[in-house]
Amino acid sequence: MKGLPLQGIMVLEFSQYLSGPSAGLRLADLGARVIKIERPGVGEAGRKLAIKDLWVDDNSLLFHTINRNKESFTANLKDAGDLAIIKKLIAKADVLIHNFRPEVMGKNGLDYDAVKAINPRMIYAEISGYGKKGPWKNKPGQDLLLQSMTGLTYTTGNGNNGPVPFGISIADIMAGSQLVQGILGGLIRRQKTGKGALIEVSLMESLLDFQFELLTTYYTTRQQPKRSHVANGQPLLSAPYGIYDTADGHIAIAMMDIHVLADTIGCCALRDFDKSEAFSRRDEIKTVLAAHLVNQKTDYWLGLLHDAGLWAMHVLNWEEMTNEDAYQSLGMEQEIDIATGKTIITTRCPIRLDGKRLMNRRPAPKLGEDTERIKEDIW
């Protein structure tokens, strides 16, 4: 019976907040042993970053969410003795992740060349904000700032809104995801060559890659994509794509032939538009549609649309979603045992292997929880 695919892989995580630690979390879920390297006394800054003032112990619920299933080793990298121990760990590890500013690891003598000299098989993976050169290289790599600088905030909301950011840390998460792909690619090559790799990702490049459809279209025309003024779903897409009010809530309607839609929901006025105008006159079309949809309840419209095989759905909040059988059958929630004998609930890894969900009840580590044990192991 085979185990998880990354069993036997040791990852040293010199990272804080979300981008690097989210990559470490995915590797842990896939079977790697992930050791957070933290400063004695304080640890990574994410331990003290809470949302809604939710705390599990000394650490925020947010920290627990991102760092479950990892170990913690404390070391003062400015202390020669501690640094010597870290170098011993580096000699044994397979992957090193950091998301410090470009020069920080170098100051501690842990830049790629130094680490490669200790361990030529190391997959050395780093996340920066904006890359290592140019006028932005020292700007803070913070999610909202990256969203703002990459044009992303002009994709969301209606054309008459100001720029609207994504309400989730998309830059951090995309960079973490890209880093995981690079690390795994590096490990696959190492199986054949025995050699390590340097994997570099920036939040900026990750967010530009994320917008590759929009940007490729932009490069073709050099015309800034415009958000629809009515029910904007995605700037590139034609009517009816968007979310509309109904008599009792909302409905999401994806791409479809506007004449088929007109016939299905009995909206004759939609027939006044030619199909070829679905993009160029989308605001007018969507205005007509919006005025029609508001007359009946969501379920009424969904009944008609689904019977016709058209792409439409409810717009749910989390309470409504978690009550759906479709949500419950996923088994997406998992319990984590926290040290105080209680449990917290979080989401599991979204990847299933060989038909099995990847579950793990192990909590985030206390600061330095594993330091002594790891020291004993390496001596």
| Footprint on residues 280-309 left by other proteins (CB under 8 A) | 280
**Region from 34-42, 84-92, 265-273, 330-338 binding other proteins, contact rule CB under 8 A:** 330-338
**Shorter beta-carbon distance to other proteins: residue 118 or 249:** 249
- Dihedral, CA of residue 58, residue 63, residue 69 and residue 72, to nearest 10: -60
Q: Which of 57, 58, 172, 377 is catalytic?
A: 172
**Shorter beta-carbon distance to other proteins: residue 82 or 205:** 205
Q: Does 66 bind other proteins (CB under 8 A)?
A: yes
SS3 6: coil
Binding mask 77-116 for other proteins (x = CB under 8 A): ----------------------------------------
Q: How many CA atoms lie within 13 A of 341 on its CB side?
A: 0
Q: Does 316 bind other proteins (CB under 8 A)?
A: yes
**Shorter beta-carbon distance to other proteins: residue 136 or 300:** 136
Q: Does 360 bind other proteins (CB under 8 A)?
A: no
Q: Does 4 bind other proteins (CB under 8 A)?
A: yes
CB 265 within 8 A of CB 304: yes
SS3 95: strand
Q: Which of 45, 58, 84, 161 binds other proteins (CB under 8 A)?
A: 161
Q: Mapped to the 3 state alphabet, what secondary structure does 179-206 carry? A: HHHHHHHHHHHHHHHCCCEEEEEEHHHH
Could you say which residues in the range 122-151 bind other proteins, by CB under 8 A? Answer: 130-131, 133-136, 139-140, 142-151
Supply φ then ψ for residue 124, to 5 degrees: -105, 115
Cis ω before 240 (30° cut-off from 0):
yes
CB 67 within 8 A of CB 369: no
SS3 49: coil
Q: Is 172 a catalytic residue?
A: yes
Could you say which residues in the range 215-274 bind other proteins, by CB under 8 A? Answer: 215-221, 224-225, 227, 231-238, 241-243, 245, 250, 252-255
**Shorter beta-carbon distance to other proteins: residue 116 or 259:** 116
**Shorter beta-carbon distance to other proteins: residue 80 or 340:** 340
Distances (CA, A) of 311 to 258, 299, 307: 12, 14, 10
Active site residues: 172
